[in-house]
Amino acid sequence: MSAIVKFDDVHLSFGALKVLKGISFEVQKGEVLVLIGRSGSGKSTALRCVDRLERINGGDIVVCGRSISDPKLDLRALRQDVGIVFQSYNLFPHLTVEQNITLAPRWVKKVDRATARAEALQVLRQVGLEEKIDAYPEQLSGGQQQRVAIARSLAMKPKVMLFDEVTSALDPELTGEVLKVIEDLARGGMTMLLVTHEMAFAQRIADRIVFMHQGRVWEEGPRTLLADPQTPELRTFVGSRH
């Protein structure tokens, strides 16, 4: 199997603060890898390094065959391969759902308007919102806005999707609808790297789980890891989530 994302002894510091202290792991094609850990453990920072929203200080990350440390890296090409969805939806309020979704395909890939709209309908169908194509973000619930944000990423046909705590700003009843979309993507074979605090969801969806602690990969294993932690740190973490 070929790794779509490979972290190799990655270090990152913000000034004197060491955030990532030599982390290594891989995400294979079609795999769902879930990063868990306390706030400040480095998991969201690790995720943001994948499409170079953060610059690493040491080691390397290879994404879809590209080294993010390569001085000749084509950042635009990298970001076409990597879809990323944050906890804040980042939709443009003055644009309709269709315009939010078609903006990047039309600008970056030069897709014509009719094709872009057809593709927008297709990705909205995937997230169960095709009837909202002409709505504005303010007319949508938080859960619907987050599903539109996922559709917007899917419209670029990425090879890997990154999800950073995408439900943390949502009410519990809206969380479920977003998690269902992510589960459907997993069943469809999308390669995914997720940061989440939803332990039951992690256990359900993950092919593998990486527990980060103090900027390091502390424990790694299949989804059964949460039921059988090997270190006191993971035992304490799991215990605090029940």
Beta carbons within 8 Å of 162's beta carbon, 6+ residues apart: 47, 50, 51, 82, 83, 84, 85, 192, 193, 194
pLDDT score recorded for residue 242: 61
167 pLDDT band, cuts 50/70/90, is confident
List pLDDT tens digits, range 88-119.
888 999 999 999 999 989 988 898 999 999 99
198 pLDDT band, cuts 50/70/90, is confident
Q: What percent of the chain has pLDDT over 90?
A: 83
Full-model pTM = 0.93
Label the pairing between strands 3-14 and 58-63: antiparallel
List pLDDT tens digits, range 36-46.
999 999 999 99
List pLDDT tens digits, range 75-92.
989 999 999 998 888 899
Nearest to 37 by CA among 49, 28, 45: 45
pLDDT score recorded for residue 138: 96
Can you say whether the dihedral through the CA atoms of 97, 54, 231, 224 is positive or negative? positive
What is the C-alpha separation between 137 and 204, in angstroms, rounded? 30
Query: In this structure, what CATH number is given to the domain that contains residue 177?
Result: 3.40.50.300
Count structural domains, the chain. Answer: 1
Domain, as residue range, for 11:
3-43+52-240
Residue 1 has pLDDT above 70, yes or no: no
Write the DSSP assignment of 45-91 as a string of letters. Answer: HHHHHHTTSS--SEEEEEETTEETT-TT--HHHHHHHEEEE-SS---
